[in-house]
Amino acid sequence: MQLAATTFALAAPLALLHASTELHLAGSFPELAISRATTEFEWPFSVDAGTLTCVALGGREMVFFSEPWREDVPQEFGNMTLPRMVVVSANPLALLASFEDRALYLPFDTLETLVGRLAPFETMGRNLCAEPVPQPDEL
């Protein structure tokens, strides 16, 4: 069982690279800095600010929210605390991908409440995918 999990972990990224002809280079995904103070919608996240990122892969678009880099812990090469990241989607099944970092969502009493809070931010994020992304030769 361990061998199968290891094989999948190594093969999955390669399969995604092969399946997608629209893969962008790392760091070239469109991003938007957002904060609780500047939004007109009900804030769904447990931190006051962060970044929306739209990832287009194989013709599918996914929106993610990530918290800022932490400054309260040392950030040394080889010993970094990466920002938490969650899926921003009105599809309840897509939210399962954020199980590990679910504390990044504000507490909610029903799934309907969370989906209602996330929907406008998903729209904002998907609009980012429509913007042109600079190609490496344009940088």
Torsion sign (Cα): 122, 129, 57, 102: negative
- Of the CA atoms within 13 Å of residue 33, those in its CB half-sphere come to 4
Q: What is the pTM of this model?
A: 0.71
Summarised one tens digit per residue, pLDDT across range 84-118 is: 999 999 998 988 888 888 999 999 999 999 999 99
pLDDT per position as a tens digit, 61-88? 999 999 998 777 777 787 778 889 999 9
Domain boundaries, given as residue ranges, for the chain: 24-71+81-133
